[in-house]
Structures are given as structure tokens and as C-alpha cells.
Amino acid sequence: DGGITQSPKYLFRKEGQNVTLSCEQNLNHDAMYWYRQDPGQGLRLIYYSQIVNDFQKGDIAEGYSVSREKKESFPLTVTSAQKNPTAFYLCASSITGDYGYTFGSGTRLTVV
């Protein structure tokens, strides 16, 4: 079955460490997105990519980095520069155009 796979489901990080969240899709979607969700808040866009080897900053890109070397993969690195990284991270993909997104099941990151 086609879909989006995020791993790991839970991730713990020590302060000062970088950590990379994985997102893989087999839907043949061109566009991919990373969102952050905090309790009681909506989805906030971190980065998005509409084609391979190209990506744009979203509303809260500071302290994060991404790469898009393959159409299927869009990993997100949470760097030590992100001051408050504990959150639920969601990856999504879509066909370019007026279509809704398909979401992964999320990664919950906790800084300890």
C-alpha cells in the first residue's frame, strides 16, 4: 500500500545534540512538507519542497535543516540551534496542484 512512513515514532535527544527525523513516501508525490505541532496549537510549517534538490523555508525554519536528494525522501534535522525542539513532528506529501496532503503518523521528539 502507498503511504508515508515516519521514523522513529518516539525520539529522545539530549540538549546540544542534532537529530534527524526520517520521512519516506511511495506515493510518487512531487511535494513534501514538514510541520510542527505543539499541544493546543495548529500545524506550523517548517520547510517544504516541491521538486528534488529544491526546498523553501516555512514559517518557523530557524534551527531546522532539510535535504531533498530523492523524490521519495525528505529528512528533517533538528539542530542544537532550535531552542524549544520538544514537539510532535508531521511529514506530509502531495501531488503538485490543488490537492490535499497525505500525512505520516508523526514523530514525537523530546529533549531530555
Between residues 77 and 102, which has the closer beta carbon with respect to another protein?
102
**Among 43, 52, 60, 95, interactor with another protein by CB under 8 A:** 43
Task: Check: CB of residue 110 under 8 Å from CB of residue 13.
Answer: yes
| Nearest distance in Å: CB 46, another protein | 11
**DSSP 3-state of 94:** strand
Distance of alpha carbon 18 from alpha carbon 1, whole angstroms: 32
Question: Going residue by residue from 66 to 85, which x/- string records binding to another protein, judged by CB under 8 A?
Answer: --------------------
Residue whose C-alpha cell is 527525523 = 21
Beta-bridged to residue 10, according to DSSP, are 108
- Residues lying near another protein in the complex (CB under 8 A): 4, 6, 33, 35, 40-43, 45, 48, 50, 56, 58, 88, 90, 92, 98-106, 108
